[in-house]
Amino acid sequence: MFSFSMAELAMILVIALVVFGPGKLPEVGKALGKGIREMRQAVSSESEKKQG
């Protein structure tokens, strides 16, 4: 889906750390993961509806 190099991922992590701070970073990661998981489930359920 996305193709990031290690340097780009490190830069994104540093920016997120500066913006959100070290205390909020785990919460932000958890919320982001939950959102991605819900999006994937919605996409897969839509494709199942179209096939069935």
Please provide residue 2's backbone torsions phi and psi, each rounded to the nearest 5 degrees. Answer: -115, 145
Tell me the pTM. 0.58
pLDDT at 7: 92
Q: Which helix (H) or strand (E) holds 22?
A: helix 6-51
CATH of the domain at 35: 1.20.5
What is the per-residue pLDDT across 1-52, written as a single tens digit (0 to 9) for each?
578 799 998 998 899 889 888 898 889 889 989 999 999 998 888 777 777 6
Residue 30 CA to residue 34 CA, distance in Å, equals: 6
pLDDT at 16: 87
The tokens describing 4, both together, are 């990031």
Whole-angstrom Cα distance, residue 7 to residue 11?
Answer: 6
Instruction: Give me the domain span that covers residue 44.
Output: 1-52
**Of 46, 37, 16, nearest in space to 8 by CA:** 16
Based on the structure, what is the number of domains in the chain? Answer: 1
Which pLDDT value is given to residue 48?
76
